[in-house]
Amino acid sequence: MQRVVITGMGAVTPLGHTASTTWSAMCEGRAAIGRITTLPRESLRFGIAAEVRDFDPLRHFDEKKLILLDRVSQFALVAAREAIAQSGIDFSADALGENTAVIIGSGIGGELTHDEQSRRLYAENNPRLHPLSIVRTMANAPACQISIEHKLTGPSFATVSACASANHALAQAFHMVRSGVADAAVAGGTEACLSYGVIKAWEAMRVMADDTCRPFCKQRHGMVLGEGAGVFVLETLERAQRRGATILAEFVGAGMSADAGDIVFPSEAGAAKAIQRALTDGGLAADDIDYINAHGTGTPGNDPTESKAIRRVFGAHADKLAVSSTKSMHAHALGAAGAIELVAAIGALRDGVVPPTTNFLDPDPECDLDYVPNVAREMRVRAALSNSFAFGGLNAVLALRRAS
């Protein structure tokens, strides 16, 4: 088993079009949640979301390429370019590209293409659909487009597990590189889900907030939808050191579990099992962890359950943990959430700054941890976890350690 490190990260989020601008906004506690600008608000119950604004595809792709790409693939490709450029990796060296994996999670895939073609077919009664609808819509399109653009011919696939999709993709990439199945990996998550149909479907579940996202606080009313992408380059420590790469963080473990219970309401036991497995897989003790980037959706059910799961695993050390939910700033990007939140975990490890849980008002007695309310905190972070708990009871937790 080889040690695995992260040497590149890229992001396109409501907080910024790069990983660095996204991280800076997190540290500032700057929220990107606001009124939806791309849909008719009068037909929406609440009409708030975290959009990636001012993203011009023609700045990144020529028109010939763009006809192949749904917004979900556009985000992933731009984030991957940033991550690969930062890593400084040369995939042509030693035929590395032949055994580099590409694994990208997405909960929905090319939803905007699907929504638009459905509108044409059913609302306009127009049987002539875009001839590239399938290749734009399929959930594996972002992974395929990255592998094509960078000539990466190793294992390439998508993970589709709702809000745990990105963390499942990153966990699979980590295990493949650690075991030697792949020499390197480009992995993460992407989502462009702010379509009329998706928002109306989420509204029907009665889990959406009417004001903003307030994880863990007494006044929380529910979740807010977001979009974006986060992509990372993983390689072995030995390879990174040999080529003199800058190491952002060491990826030490991943824990996964299934609640095998309610398809919507989360399980404390299932979440705790994934957390414990991440610690065990990474060879970490409970008191090695200083920070947890929580799933923290702001719903009445999720936040107390996650808090109890953390207490179950960490015992007395839970009172010493800094726990925050950056969804309070970039909202819930579903299958991309874990990838965007990994930017926060890596930033905390590198810069010694824990991003806050913004919009926090009064504490909830059922949520009794230190949620770093409203203002970022400077502190040394030795090791961190990033939690993702999805509908269907699918849990994925990543464990990272500060680069030495």
Q: What positions carry a catalytic annotation?
A: 163, 295, 332
Rounded Cα gap, residues 183 and 244, in angstroms: 17
Question: Please, which residues have CB within 8 angstroms of residue 9's CB and are 6 or more apart in sequence?
Answer: 19, 82, 83, 86, 230, 231, 232, 233, 248, 342, 343, 346
Strands 353-354 and 377-378: antiparallel
DSSP class of residue 119 equals I
- Supply the DSSP string of 71-95, one letter for each residue: HHHHHHHHHHHHHHHHHT--TTGGG
Residue 59 contacts by C-beta under 8 Å, 6 or more apart in sequence? none
3-state SS class at 30: coil
Q: Which of 153, 256, 230, 173 is nearest to 5 (CA)?
A: 173
Count Cα neighbours of 164 within 13 Å in the Cβ-side half-sphere: 25
Rg (CA), the chain: 20
Contact in structure between 385 and 399 (CB atoms under 8 Å): yes
Q: Which two tokens stand for residue 329?
A: 């700033």
- Give the alpha-carbon dihedral of 235, 4, 268, 357, to 10 degrees: -70
Contact 324, 371 (CB under 8 A): yes
